Amino acid sequence: MSQNLETTYNPKEIESKLYEKWCENQYFHAEVDRSKKPFTTVMPPPNITGKLHMGHALDNTLQDILIRYKRMQGYNALWIPGTDHAAISTEVKVTNQLKEEGIDKKELGREKFLERTWQWKEEYAGTIEGQLKKLGVSCDWDRERFTMDEGCSKAVEQVFISLHEKGFIYKGSRIINWCPVCKTSLSDAEVEHEEQDGFFWHIKYPIVGTDDFLEIATTRPETMLGDTAIAVHPDDERYKDIVGKKCLLPLTDREIPIVADYYVDKEFGTGAVKITPAHDPNDFEVGKRHNLPEINVMNDDATINEQYGGKYAGMDRYEARKAMVADLEEQGYLVKVVPHSHNVGTHDRCHTTVEPMVKQQWFVKMDELAKPAINAIKTGELKFVPERFNKIYLHWLENIRDWCISRQIWWGHRIPAYYCDDCGEVVVSHGMPEKCPKCGCTHLTQDEDTLDTWFSSALWPFSTLGWPDQSEDLDYFYPTDVLVTGYDIIFFWVIRMVFSGYAHTGKAPFHTVFIHGLVRDSQGRKMSKSLGNGIDPLEIIDQYGADALRMTLITGNAPGNDMRFYNERVEASRNFANKVWNASRFIMMNLDEKKLEEPAKDSLHPSDQWILSKCNTLIKDVTENMDKFELGIALSKLYDFIWDEFCDWYIELAKYRIYHAEEDPKGANDALWTLREVLKDSLKLLHPYMPFVTEEIYGKLIPEEESLMMSAWPEYDEALNFPEAERIVDHYKEIVRGIRNVRAEMNVPNSRKATAYVVCEDQTLCDGLAFMTNSAKQMASVLDLVIQKDKAGIADDAVSVVVPDATVYVPLEELIDFDQEIERLTKEETRLNKEIARAQGMLNNEKFVSKAPEAKVQEEREKLETYKQMKAQVSERLEGLKAKQSK
């Protein structure tokens, strides 16, 4: 038997209580169960350095909606949570913490530094977990993983060794992205490109043995000390005669060759470009084709080095730029300086401008590894929602470069490569070798570098399930089903997971990637610390409740699209939660201790059949939308049904039978039974979106069930389609709206009621509407609702409202008190006459017209026209009433 709810809904009181209950009963936990079909997803692991922000809130709300939905559908649903060690970010934070204590990281040493970092991890990693619990996420906390835990670390080492043995991992000198502040290499995916204002410096490069020169434009004159060639297009007629000759490199005594290469765009600029293989990825490729030397002119901190810097050695790159430009101008090499806006790569963590450099690093050879990942999207084995992200994914993979995986930091997975101290042999193995396989030396040193953070998170879908061990979990739950993530990390993470899945398990790690957009502020700006426009999800939860935040994040949300966050929307979401609560409270108060009998569906009141039919269609629509990942559309349909159809219409329709149970016990039973059934299904459909308020209500409504989240998802039932009942109630709603509009237009007070007549020739419709007459008395504020086939007995002056298949008539005399209305309109006419006279007086005043601002004068002209129109309407109505009164 149902129990009553508290008077008001208080999220703070119920949310933590319910979450503890869910965890205690292990409702989120999944074990291998061959009798059920699994549904698996993995949480994109948030960094241990961070705290919950709106992006996390959206991402995890979407995942939670899907996992709750699948769990209720009967799947063995597993959602694996975890955190990422965030190598560079964490190292920076711990280093800064040490600085504040006056401790130098290098003096502390690697082992002591790692001890401090693990302490830091233990202290802060739990922060985001607690915050996610506040949001209501139903992930399996018993299976929580960390990218540097024992199992994940074992997987990382296995993958490195395996790829190295197969020739996919190699160490070589190639162009990489270098961060001069963090002093580490970066992958292409860790470089953000932003538009910056800069310049093109046009410089003369004298052609040796002639009086001619080539004009070269560059945005980075500081790198010219590393120039090793000038390139022109092979088909450029202007330069065919000089290919093979040499140019003098300004500011130096070096001569560099002029080469022909199809990389050059002969239509851009002068058609001649300087080639600096050690400081530009495209130049690096040109250099390889022409066997050019690679001259790195910078130190790791982006100062000019001693070997090639000459007088500029030791200068910061931008300081050197100024000095070189000044010298170029003084020596007559500078032709002109042209403003130029261009994309500049910056480190996504510290936002320092990245410096391309040639360095010895570890790389993953991507050509072959990318092929299965490309094929997966082309064959449909993998799909993106929405599909437009297929192109971005393919473009990235088809143009992918070898992946630089080594990082010059201490926190992270250390590269399992060991160097013989005597002969220099490199051994990649599990653990330190006892001796060098080449010379037998027993003294080996492990590589100092660690692996790119994304190297470990690329293994996340299978390393979290026990790989490389062939566990039962891995066999049952892998491949996973859906990955939910933002479009900003398709390159960072999604692509790496896909090719890693194929390379190490032979399968795609998931079949669907559900992409969402960013959460922006109300002005459409990206939330950031610099703008100070970030909104703390926990503050929203504290003020409005987790359900209100979750609903706000999904309202209007479409896959792949950004959304704007408004506080007004949160208030609207909270109001909806209150609406559901109050409606449920009303229903349960009237259910009380009553024992309800399930009625025969064909004997139900048309309004009962109508709401059951509408709810049945809703179940079908919401299920279809959820399966298509149209979560925002599904929520919109739920909102409209619960607020409008169920609360504002059906509950009001049911009240008469509930309140007059002694007159019609069956009608009261049927109304209450229908209310309970529709509320039960509505709560189930709403539960994935708003888990707390729905669970609390459901637990009181159906106390015999263990939990709403473990109940069955509603299913569409063909037997609950009642098209005729829908037609009747849809007409009834139009009739009620029509009467309400007439009353509003004529300013009829609530206390004054009239008899309304519905003239309808359709006998079936008339019979159906006859069931509604008692409810209409309250809902349309009428004395009675009379259904008839013609106008017999209806006064000639009755106001008419045309609705589909019927006309509603309301006698004018019953609607208004003629004397009161004439008095009111007479006062209104007097007021309008005064306003007209005032406006005309101002507009006839030459001083006002000539001296007042034109906008003010125009405003008065518009007011005058409005007053005249209003007065004409009032006068016309007044004359009509007086005429009727005199009859």
Kindly report the three-state secondary structure assignment for every residue of 631-677. HHHHHHHHHHHHHHHHHHHHHHHHHHHHHCCCCCHHHHHHHHHHHHH
Three-state DSSP class for 339? strand
Both structure tokens of 377:
């999207």
How far apart are alpha carbons 179 and 351 in whole angstroms?
9
Amino acid code (one letter) for 648: D
Give the closest residue to 170 by CA, choosing from 501, 426, 423. Answer: 426
C-beta separation of 526 from 518 below 8 A: yes
How far apart are alpha carbons 395 and 381 in whole angstroms?
18
Non-local CB neighbours of 318 within 8 Å, separated by 6+ positions: 222
Altogether, the residues listed in the chain come to a count of: 887
C-beta separation of 631 from 514 below 8 A: no
Query: Which long-range CB contacts under 8 A does 458-461 form with residues at least 24 apart?
Result: 458/493, 458/496, 458/497, 458/499, 458/500, 459/152, 459/155, 459/156, 459/159, 459/497, 459/500, 459/504, 460/42, 460/45, 460/82, 460/147, 460/497, 461/42, 461/497, 461/501, 461/509, 461/510
CB burial class (10 A; 0-12, 13-18, 19+) of residue 301?
exposed
Non-local CB neighbours of 88 within 8 Å, separated by 6+ positions: 182, 184, 349, 350, 407, 409, 453
Count of Cβ atoms closer than 10 Å to residue 349 Cβ? 20
Q: What DSSP designation does 385 have?
A: E
Non-local CB neighbours of 389 within 8 Å, separated by 6+ positions: 487, 490, 513, 515, 560
Kindly report the three-state secondary structure assignment for every residue of 688-731. CCCHHHHHHHHHHHCCCCCCHHHCCCCCCCHHHCCHHHHHHHHH
C-beta separation of 492 from 189 below 8 A: yes
Question: Does 336 count as an annotated binding residue?
Answer: no
C-beta separation of 260 from 243 below 8 A: yes
Please report which helix (H) or strand (E) contains residue 196, including its range.
strand 191-206
C-beta separation of 757 from 788 below 8 A: yes
Q: On the CB side of 245, how many CA atoms lie within 13 Å of its CA? A: 17
Please report which helix (H) or strand (E) contains residue 430, including its range.
none
Binding region: 529
Binding region for ATP: 529
